Amino acid sequence: MTDLHHPEPSSVTPPPSAVGPIRRRPPQGVVRPILDLFSSVRLGVVLMVVLFVYCTIGSAGLLYPVGANIFDAGSWVHAMPRQWRPFELTEFEWFHTAFFNALCLLICVNLTVATIRRIPLTVLSAGVWMIHSGIIILAAGSVIYFSTKVEGDTVVVRRQLFIDVPGAGPGGGAKTVGLVVLPGNAVDVPAAAGTGGWRFEIASVQPEYELRSGDDAGKKTYAVQVLVEPPIGARFIRQVLDGYPQYTEDVLPGEGRVKKIDRFGGKSLVDESVRIDLGYQPQDSFWVKDSAALHVRTQGERLWHQRPIRGLPRYNDYIDRQQAIWPPAGYDDYPLQPLSIDVSAAANSDAADPLAGVPVRVTGFLRYAAVQPRFEPAPDGAPVTRPVAEVSIRDASHGAAASAHRATLVADDPARRAAFDGSLLFRWVRTADELREFEGSTEPVLTLDVPRDGAEPVRREIRIDPTRTARLASAAQGDQADDRSVPFSQIEGTDVSFRVWDVVTDLTVEVQGEPVTVSLATVDFKTPAGVFRRWVFDDPSRTRDGKPGDTGPTRDSPAPDPRVRATFRPGSLAPATIVAGPGLNAEPGSPAAKLWTRSPRGVLMSRAIRPGERVALAPEVSLTLDRLIPRAAEVSRPMVVPPSQRDRDADVAQTFAMIEVELGSGDAAQRVWLPFHRYSVEDATLIDPGMSRFEPRPVALPGGRVVELMFGRERKRLPAPVVLHDFELATEVGGFTGSTLSIRDWTSRVRFWKGDPARRGADAWTAPEPISVNNPLSRQGLWFFQAYWDAPRPERPGVPASAGLNFTGLGVGNREGVHLQLFGCVLSVAGMIYAFYVKPIIRRRRIERVRASVAAAVAQDRGEVIR
Partner 1 sequence: MNSAGKALGQWLLGAAIVTAVAALAVAMLLRSSRPGGGGFAAEIDLAPLDRSAVHTDGRIKSFDSFAADTLSHIAGPRRVGGLPKDFTYLDMLLRPERYDDADAVYVKNRTMRADIAEALRASVLAGELEGVTKDRLAAFEKQGLISRRLLMRPEVTPLMNRWAGDLIRTAKFVDQIEGALATMRPESLAADLRIVPPPPGSPPNVPWISVRELAEGAPAKVAPAAALRSASPIDRLDAAVRERLASDWARFATAWQAENAAEANAALASFAAALPAVNAEAYPNQSRLGLESQYFKLGSLTWVWLCYLLSVVFLLMSVAFRWDAARRIGMGAFTASFLLHTASLGLRWYVSGRWPNANMFEAVTTSVWFGAVLAIVIEALARRSPMRNLFALGAAAASMAALMSAHFLPQLDSNIRNVMPVLNDLWLYIHTNVIIASYALIAMAAVTAGLYLVWRLLGGGPDHARGGGGTEMLLDAALTDARMASDPASARRVSAGAVFDGATLVMMQLSFVMLWAGIVMGAIWADHSWGRPWGWDPKEVFALNTFIVYIVLIHVRLRAKDKGLWTAWLAVIGCGVMLFNWIVINFVIAGLHSYA
- Of residues 383 through 442, those in contact with partner 1 by CB under 8 A are 397-399, 401-403
Interface segment toward partner 1; rule CB under 8 A; list 245-253, 570-578, 581-589, 825-833: 825-833
The answer for residues whose C-beta is within 8 angstroms of residue 289's C-beta and 6 or more apart is: 151, 152, 153, 713
CA atoms within 13 A on the CB side of 851: 9
> Is residue 828 close enough to count as binding partner 1 by CB under 8 A?
yes
For residues 581 and 804, which CB has a smaller minimum distance to partner 1 in the complex? Answer: 804
> Is residue 853 close enough to count as binding partner 1 by CB under 8 A?
no
**DSSP class of residue 74?**
G
3-class state of residue 299 by DSSP: coil
> Is residue 342 close enough to count as binding partner 1 by CB under 8 A?
no
3-class state of residue 345 by DSSP: helix
CA atoms 733, 735, 738, 744: torsion sign: positive
List helix spans (H) across 360-483.
Answer: 432-440, 470-476
Which H or E run includes 241? strand 236-241
CB of 656 to partner 1, least distance (A): 12
Report the alpha-carbon distance of residue 412 to residue 392 in Å, rounded: 20
Pick the binder of partner 1 from 476, 801, 850, 859 (CB under 8 A).
Answer: 801
> Is residue 59 close enough to count as binding partner 1 by CB under 8 A?
yes
Number of residues that bind partner 1 (CB under 8 A): 105
HEC assignment per residue over 596-662: EEECCCCCEEEEEECCCCEEEEECCEEEEEEEEEEEEEEEEEEEECCHHHCCHHHHHCCCCCEEEEE
Pick the binder of partner 1 from 44, 575, 675, 696 (CB under 8 A).
Answer: 44
Interface segment toward partner 1; rule CB under 8 A; list 37-45, 251-259, 296-304, 466-474: 37-45
Interface segment toward partner 1; rule CB under 8 A; list 276-284, 385-393, 588-596, 827-835: 827-835
Interface segment toward partner 1; rule CB under 8 A; list 263-271, 307-315, 708-716, 839-847: 839-847
> Is residue 805 close enough to count as binding partner 1 by CB under 8 A?
yes
3-class state of residue 374 by DSSP: strand
List helix spans (H) across 179-219.
Answer: none
Pick the binder of partner 1 from 257, 563, 697, 793 (CB under 8 A).
Answer: 793
- Of residues 734 through 773, those in contact with partner 1 by CB under 8 A are 734-746, 773
HEC assignment per residue over 647-694: CHHHHHCCCCCEEEEEECCHHHCEEEEEEEECCCCCCHHHCCCCCCCC
- Of residues 141 through 160, those in contact with partner 1 by CB under 8 A are 142, 145, 149, 151
Give the chain's radius of gyration (CA, Å): 39
> Is residue 17 close enough to count as binding partner 1 by CB under 8 A?
yes
For residues 264 and 788, which CB has a smaller minimum distance to partner 1 in the complex? Answer: 788
> Is residue 55 close enough to count as binding partner 1 by CB under 8 A?
yes
Of the candidates 805, 802, 770, the residue with the CA atom closest to the CA atom of residue 789? 805
For residues 254 and 794, which CB has a smaller minimum distance to partner 1 in the complex? Answer: 794
Pick the binder of partner 1 from 646, 671, 678, 697 (CB under 8 A).
Answer: 646
CA atoms within 13 A on the CB side of 120: 8
> Is residue 104 close enough to count as binding partner 1 by CB under 8 A?
no
Pick the binder of partner 1 from 804, 807, 808, 820 (CB under 8 A).
Answer: 804
Binding marks (x or -) toward partner 1, 160..199, rule CB under 8 A? -----------------------x----------------
Interface segment toward partner 1; rule CB under 8 A; list 548-556, 581-589, 655-663, 803-811: 803-811
CB of 468 to partner 1, least distance (A): 24
> Is residue 92 close enough to count as binding partner 1 by CB under 8 A?
yes
> Is residue 207 close enough to count as binding partner 1 by CB under 8 A?
yes
> Is residue 645 close enough to count as binding partner 1 by CB under 8 A?
yes
What are the CA-CA distances from residue 552 to residues 357, 526, 555, 795, 806 (Å)?
58, 18, 8, 20, 34
> Is residue 64 close enough to count as binding partner 1 by CB under 8 A?
no
Report the alpha-carbon distance of residue 783 to residue 781 in Å, rounded: 7
Pick the binder of partner 1 from 373, 457, 552, 792 (CB under 8 A).
Answer: 792
Binding marks (x or -) toward partner 1, 680..719, rule CB under 8 A? ----------------------------------------
For residue 386, the cross-strand partners are 632
